[in-house]
Amino acid sequence: MSTAATAIAGMTATGPHGTVRTAEHARIMTFLDARGEGRTSLVELTGDPGYGKTRLLTAVAGEARRRGVDVLRARCTETRTGESFHPFIEAFTSWRPSGTTLLAPATAFIRALAAAADMLDDTSTSRCRLFAELRSLYGDCLAAAPGGLLLLFDDFHFADRASVDLLEVLARWPLVEALPVVVAHRQRQVPAWMHVTIQAGVELGAVEQIRLAALTLQQSAELLGLPGRAPGLADLHERGAGNPLYLTALAEQEAGGGDDGRADGFGHAPSAGPSDHWARTTLGVRLLAETTPLGATQRLVARAAAVLGDTFTVDAVAAVAQLDRAEACRALRELRARDLVRATPGGELAFRHPLVGRCLYGQTDPCWQVGAHRRALEYLRTGPAAPTLPARHAERSGPRGPAGVGVGLTAREREVARLAAQGLRTRDIAGRLRVSPRTVDTHLAHIYGKLGVSSRVELVRLLSVAP
Ligand SMILES: Nc1ncnc2c1ncn2[C@@H]1O[C@H](COP(=O)(O)OP(=O)(O)OP(=O)(O)O)[C@@H](O)[C@H]1O
Ligand SMILES: [Mg+2]
Query: What CATH code is carried by the domain that includes residue 97?
Result: 3.40.50.300
Domain boundary at 379, 397, 415, which?
397
Same domain, 389 and 425: no
Domain boundary at 381, 397, 413, which?
397
Residues 198/202/205/211 CA torsion (nearest 10 deg): 110
How far is ligand 2, taken at its centre, from the CA of residue 53, in Å? 5
How far is ligand 2, taken at its centre, from the CA of residue 52, in Å? 7
What CATH number is attached to the domain comprising 418?
1.10.10.10
Sheet holding 341-343, edge to edge: 311-312, 349-351, 341-343
Domain assignment present for residue 9? The answer is no
Domain assignment present for residue 403? The answer is yes
| Residue 44, phi then psi, degrees to nearest 5 | -105, 115
Residues 330, 300: Cα–Cα separation, whole Å: 12
Residues forming a β-bridge with 349: 312, 343
Asked if the model's pLDDT at residue 405 lies above 80, the reply is: no
Residue nearest to ligand 1 atom 18, measured at CA: 52
Instruction: Give me the pLDDT at residue 274, please.
Output: 55
Asked if the model's pLDDT at residue 187 lies above 80, the reply is: yes
pLDDT in tens, 415-452: 888 888 788 899 999 999 999 999 999 998 888 776 66
Instruction: Give me the pLDDT at residue 467, please.
Output: 27
Same domain, 389 and 426: no
Better-scored residue on pLDDT, 151 or 5: 151
Same domain, 340 and 391: yes
Sign of CA dihedral 92, 96, 101, 106: negative
Say yes or no: CB of residue 25 within 6 Å of ligand 1.
no
Asked if the model's pLDDT at residue 402 lies above 80, the reply is: no
**How sure is the predictor about 347, in pLDDT bands with cuts at 50, 70 and 90?**
confident
CB 171 within 8 A of CB 42: yes
Residue nearest to ligand 1 atom 31, measured at CA: 245
How far is ligand 2, taken at its centre, from the CA of residue 150, in Å? 18
Same domain, 179 and 33: yes
CB 183 within 8 A of CB 105: no
Domain assignment present for residue 254? The answer is no
Same domain, 429 and 388: no
Mean pLDDT of 339-343: 97
Better-scored residue on pLDDT, 387 or 209: 209
Position in ligand 1 atom list of the atom nearest CA 244: 12
Instruction: Give me the pLDDT at residue 213, please.
Output: 97
Domain assignment present for residue 355? The answer is yes
Residue nearest to ligand 1 atom 23, measured at CA: 50
Same domain, 53 and 200: yes
Say yes or no: CB of residue 245 within 6 Å of ligand 1.
yes
**Considering every ligand atom, which ligand is closest to the CA of 188?**
1
pLDDT in tens, 88-140: 999 999 998 777 788 899 999 999 999 998 887 766 668 888 899 999 999 89
Instruction: Give me the pLDDT at residue 40, please.
Output: 58
Same domain, 123 and 47: yes
How far is ligand 1, taken at its centre, from the CA of residue 236, in Å? 17
**Residues 6 or more apart in contact with residue 177 via CB below 8 angstroms:** 35, 36, 142, 148
Same domain, 392 and 415: no
Q: Which of 22, 222, 245, 340 to mutate to test the pocket of ligand 1 (most atoms within 8 A of CB)?
A: 245
**Residues 6 or more apart in contact with residue 151 via CB below 8 angstroms:** 72, 73, 74, 91, 179, 180, 181, 182
**Residues 6 or more apart in contact with residue 292 via CB below 8 angstroms:** none
Residue nearest to ligand 1 atom 5, measured at CA: 18
How far is ligand 1, taken at its centre, from the CA of residue 211, in Å? 14
Residues 11, 230: Cα–Cα separation, whole Å: 9
Residue nearest to ligand 1 atom 4, measured at CA: 18
Residues 152, 57: Cα–Cα separation, whole Å: 7
Same domain, 338 and 406: no
Residue ranges making up the domain that contains 285:
262-397
Domain boundary at 382, 397, 412, which?
397
Say yes or no: CB of residue 21 within 6 Å of ligand 1.
yes
For the chain, the C-alpha Rg in angstroms (whole number) is 27
Mean pLDDT of 6-29: 64
Mean pLDDT of 242-269: 69
Give percent of the chain with pLDDT exceeding 90.
53
Say yes or no: CB of residue 52 within 6 Å of ligand 1.
yes
Mean pLDDT of 304-325: 94
Burial class (CB in 10 A: 0-12, 13-18, 19+), 138: buried
Domain assignment present for residue 133? The answer is yes
What CATH number is attached to the domain comprising 267?
1.10.10
Asked if the model's pLDDT at residue 152 lies above 90, the reply is: yes
Question: Which among 229-233, 278-282, 305-309, 420-424 has the top mean pLDDT?
Answer: 305-309
Domain assignment present for residue 267? The answer is yes
User: In three state form, how does the secondary structure of the chain look?
Assistant: CCHHHHHHHHHHCCCCCCCCCHHHHHHHHHHHHCCCCCCCCEEEEECCCCCCHHHHHHHHHHHHHHCCCEEEEEECCHHHCCCCCHHHHHHHHCCCCCCCCCCHHHHHHHHHHHHHHHHCCCCCCCHHHHHHHHHHHHHHHHHCCCCCEEEEEECHHHCCHHHHHHHHHHHHCCCCCCCCEEEEECHHHCCHHHHHHHHHHHHCCCEEEEECCCCCHHHHHHHHCCCCCCCCHHHHHHHCCCCHHHHHHHHHHHHCCCCCCCCCCCCCCHHHCCCCCHHHCHHHHHHHHCCCCCCHHHHHHHHHHHHHCCEECHHHHHHHHCCCHHHHHHHHHHHHHCCCEEECCCCCEEECCHHHHHHHHHHCCHHHHHHHHHHHHHHHHCCCCCCHHHHHHHHHCCCCCCCCCCCCCCHHHHHHHHHHHCCCCHHHHHHHHCCCHHHHHHHHHHHHHHHCCCCHHHHHHHCCCCC
Domain assignment present for residue 223? The answer is no
Task: Share the mean pLDDT of the chain.
Answer: 84
Same domain, 129 and 56: yes
Residue nearest to ligand 1 atom 12, measured at CA: 245
Burial class (CB in 10 A: 0-12, 13-18, 19+), 402: exposed
Domain assignment present for residue 249? The answer is no
Domain count for the chain, please give it: 3
Residues 201, 448: Cα–Cα separation, whole Å: 65
Say yes or no: CB of residue 354 within 6 Å of ligand 1.
no
Same domain, 386 and 407: no
Asked if the model's pLDDT at residue 81 lies above 60, the reply is: yes
Residues 26/28/31/35 CA torsion (nearest 10 deg): -120
Mean pLDDT of 252-257: 78
How far is ligand 1, taken at its centre, from the CA of residue 204, in Å? 31
Say yes or no: CB of residue 223 within 6 Å of ligand 1.
yes
Same domain, 306 and 391: yes
